[in-house]
A and B are shown apart, each in its own frame.
Chain A
Amino acid sequence: MTLLELDCVTKRFGRVTVAESLSLEVAETELLGVVGPNGAGKTSLFSIISGDLEPDEGRVVFAGQVINRLGSASRCRLGIGRTYQVPRPFERMTVFENVLVAAQEGAGLRGRASGEQAYSSLETTGLAADANRPAGSLGLLSRKRLEMARALATRPRLLLLDEVAAGLTDPEVSELVAIVRWARSGASGAQPVAVVWVEHVVRALSGTTDRLICLDSGSVIADGRPEDVLADPAVRDVFLGTDEVTPARAQAEGPEVMHRESPTAAQQHSAQQHGAQQHSAQSPSARSLGTQPVGGQ
């Protein structure tokens, strides 16, 4: 069943278009990955869904309700949770208070229930031991965990993750990926959530998502299974246009230019492309996130 639908959404700032007749559906409990070059409109897409930006045209429908005109606070209470790319904890409050506020205001819980929800979100994200520290004293990884804990504590039905992996090392990324899986499975006691996950570091997504879309200039240019999307000529073309790698190198290596940080991940993708029959062999476990090639050459 469709949980979120964007219907021909357009948003412009002067001559800059961040969304151009963008249509998108997210099913309940789906995990959708979103990739795209810098400035493709990934974060704007989140702002449109979470209510920070109101679209000029088109409809945003959540759980059967048109939410175009709802503010982000109301959307949060309806069940849309969001994390920021650069974590924004309430620095002057403790970690626990950060999450408690989310449980009380976002999930509408009171008394004991709110405390329990807050604590379980901290446990899910491995922050329980830091509950009484001021949030401002946390390092980047813990801030990212807190960002996720706070979003989870609002008991979302849809969770928007904005570049969770940015700035983290591979093992740290794997940890956060494991948290997302755990939260999504419903094992933490809450209902399973749908996740839309924007990521620049593509290897964090591959192996985790069921479906991938690629954005460019505010439009969806590819939508489908991750390996198909990454192999799509249009997608490859878009990434060639960036200055991240020289065209010569990009042509030689294909779409894996998106993650030049990780030669192993690149290897993984080339491996998959070269052995097309290996697609289904890709392990969905967190361990496969660019740490080892899956398909044989």
Chain B
Amino acid sequence: MTYANALVQGLLLGGLFALFACGLSLMFGVMEVINLAHGDIAVAAAYLAVVLVPLTHIPAVWIFVLVVPAFMVGGYFGQRLLIQRSLDEGPVTTLLVTFGLSVVLENVLLEVFTGNDQSLNIGSLVSGSFSVRGVILPYLSIMILGAALVALAAVQFFLSRTKTGRMVRAVADDREAAQLVGADYRHLFGIAAALASGTVALAGLALSMYTTVNPNTGPSYLLYGFAAVVIGGLGSLWGTLLGGMVLGVAMTMGSLVDPDFGAMLPYLVFLAVLAFRPRGLFPKKAIA
């Protein structure tokens, strides 16, 4: 029963990792940008929520209605004004710029909010659960997985069924050829960055409900995100979800042995996948 419990908790945790990973996958798949500030954007979103909840009296569970759109707009302009300029200079510049952004975000948060842990207070929901045949199902974890499923499905739908989404895929496939059929790739890169920023903001909110965050939390979740992307297979959104679940299960199963092992096992799995299935467990060529 302990194992069944750990398995289910791990699967539920997978949703959170998938939310972190989805934007990384998009940014790399569409414009070949490795965004090192990805985790810090999530943490920034959590801090924005911490500020907004007392100001607006919107319940913490619903604060995403404000935070996610704000981060989508921010993502769009961040891409157009910052990342696009570095893209024109080459891949190393892009890496440096996103690393710089990461450092700046962390230090601004540290300056404004100090290094204390923060979390979003969602009342009794944080500890509420029900059990099915002895397996404990926390409401919050189920909510987070549900949010991840909805977000991934929405991104998937956008990319495969809408006019703009198709253009994003065309630009990801061949930027020059896409321009020749009239696509403004800068705008479409902005759209992809908006999606990436929006989904990772959602991940940040979920994280700050689930546990605490501080200004230095970002990079470790950036790593989990990368691991989920690589395990799932680059460019596949549903693969990313499965990658997240593999990570989650590795974490909870490892914790059964020893809490420290629980932190380490996901990375061992990550290394094993890199060694034996370097294209991921569910490789797919296309984004989405």
Using a CB–CB distance below 8 Å, which chain A residues touch chain B?
A: 50-52, 71-74, 76-77, 81-82, 84, 88-93, 97-98, 100-102, 104-108, 110, 114, 136, 150-151, 153-154
Q: Of B169, B174, B182, which one neighbours A102 at CB under 8 angstroms?
A: B182
Chain B residues whose CB sits within 8 angstroms of the CB of A100 once the complex forms: 166
Chain B residues whose CB sits within 8 angstroms of the CB of A77 once the complex forms: 182
Interface string of B160-202 (1 = CB under 8 A from A): 0001001101100110111111111100000000000000000
CB-based nearest A residue for B235: A92
Question: Nearest-CB distance from A131 to chain B (Å)?
Answer: 15
Question: Nearest-CB distance from A70 to chain B (Å)?
Answer: 11
Q: Of A89, A92, A105, which one neighbours B169 at CB under 8 angstroms?
A: A92
Chain A residues whose CB sits within 8 angstroms of the CB of B286 once the complex forms: 92-93
CB-based nearest A residue for B285: A92
Question: Nearest-CB distance from A39 to chain B (Å)?
Answer: 21
Number of A-B contacts (CB under 8 A): 80
CA distance A28 to B199 in the complex (A): 49
CA distance A51 to B176 in the complex (A): 10
A-B pairs, 7 with minimum CB distance: A106-B182, A92-B286, A102-B181, A105-B182, A76-B182, A90-B173, A88-B177
CA distance A206 to B164 in the complex (A): 42
Contact, CB under 8 Å: A73 / B174: no
CA distance A90 to B175 in the complex (A): 10
Question: Nearest-CB distance from A161 to chain B (Å)?
Answer: 13
Contact, CB under 8 Å: A76 / B181: yes
Given contacts A91-B285, A154-B181, 10 further A-B contacts (CB under 8 A): A51-B179, A52-B176, A88-B174, A93-B166, A93-B173, A97-B166, A101-B181, A102-B182, A105-B163, A108-B182
Question: Nearest-CB distance from A141 to chain B (Å)?
Answer: 18
Chain B residues whose CB sits within 8 angstroms of the CB of A51 once the complex forms: 179
Question: Nearest-CB distance from A164 to chain B (Å)?
Answer: 15
Using a CB–CB distance below 8 Å, which chain B residues touch chain A?
A: 163, 166-167, 169-170, 173-174, 176-185, 285-287
CA distance A150 to B108 in the complex (A): 48
Question: Nearest-CB distance from B169 to chain A (Å)?
Answer: 6
Could you list 14 examples of A-B contacts with CB < 8 Å? A90-B169, A91-B173, A92-B173, A93-B169, A101-B167, A102-B181, A102-B182, A104-B167, A105-B163, A105-B167, A105-B181, A105-B183, A108-B182, A114-B163
Question: Nearest-CB distance from B64 to chain A (Å)?
Answer: 31
CA distance A89 to B163 in the complex (A): 17
Q: Of A74, A84, A97, A104, which one neighbours B177 at CB under 8 angstroms?
A: A84
CB-based nearest A residue for B169: A93
Chain A residues whose CB sits within 8 angstroms of the CB of B174 once the complex forms: 88-91
CA distance A88 to B180 in the complex (A): 11
CB-based nearest B residue for A110: B163
Question: Nearest-CB distance from B58 to chain A (Å)?
Answer: 36
Chain A residues whose CB sits within 8 angstroms of the CB of B180 once the complex forms: 50, 72-73, 76, 81-82, 151
Contact, CB under 8 Å: B169 / A76: no
CB-based nearest A residue for B174: A88
CA distance A291 to B286 in the complex (A): 43
Contact, CB under 8 Å: B176 / A88: yes
CB-based nearest A residue for B171: A90
CB-based nearest A residue for B166: A101
Chain B residues whose CB sits within 8 angstroms of the CB of A52 once the complex forms: 176
CA distance A82 to B177 in the complex (A): 9
Chain A residues whose CB sits within 8 angstroms of the CB of B184 once the complex forms: 71, 73-74
Contact, CB under 8 Å: B169 / A73: no
Q: Of A76, A93, A107, which one neighbours B179 at CB under 8 angstroms?
A: A76
CB-based nearest B residue for A135: B173
Known pairs A73-B185, A92-B285, A92-B286; A101 contacts B179 (CB<8 A):
no
CB-based nearest B residue for A84: B177
CA distance A150 to B163 in the complex (A): 16
Question: Nearest-CB distance from B236 to chain A (Å)?
Answer: 11
CA distance A91 to B172 in the complex (A): 11
Question: Nearest-CB distance from B47 to chain A (Å)?
Answer: 38
Question: Nearest-CB distance from B156 to chain A (Å)?
Answer: 14
Chain B residues whose CB sits within 8 angstroms of the CB of A84 once the complex forms: 177
